[in-house]
Amino acid sequence: MLQERTLARLLEETSRLYGDQSFLLDDSSLGSVSYAEILQFACGLERQFDDMGILPGAPVATMLHNCGLAAALFLGVMASGRVLVPLNPIATSYELTYMLDRSRCQALIVDPIHVLSTEFGDRTVIPVEDH
Task: Spell out the domain ranges in the chain.
Answer: 7-127
User: What pLDDT shows up at residue 83?
Assistant: 97
Q: Does domain 7-127 bear CATH number 3.40.50.980?
A: yes
Q: What is the Cα gyration radius of the chain?
A: 15
Cβ contacts of 60 within 8 Å, gap of 6 or more: 49, 54, 77, 82, 83, 84, 85, 105, 106, 107, 108, 109
Q: Tell if the pTM clears 0.95, that is, is over it.
A: no
Bridge partners (DSSP) of residue 31 are 27
Could you read off the pLDDT of 77-101 as tens digits, one per residue?
999 999 999 999 999 999 999 999 9
User: What pLDDT shows up at residue 1?
Assistant: 63
User: What pLDDT shows up at residue 15?
Assistant: 96
Give SS3 for 99. helix
C-alpha 91/C-alpha 109 separation (Å) is 14
Residue type, position 23, single letter: F
User: What pLDDT shows up at residue 121?
Assistant: 87
89 and 116 Cβ atoms separated by less than 8 Å: yes
65 and 89 Cβ atoms separated by less than 8 Å: yes
User: What pLDDT shows up at residue 16?
Assistant: 95
Could you read off the pLDDT of 25-80 as tens digits, one per residue?
777 778 889 999 999 999 999 999 999 999 999 999 999 988 889 999 999 999 99
Mean pLDDT in residue range 102-124: 91
Cβ contacts of 26 within 8 Å, gap of 6 or more: 32
Q: How are beta strands 59-63 and 31-34 bridged, if at all? A: unpaired
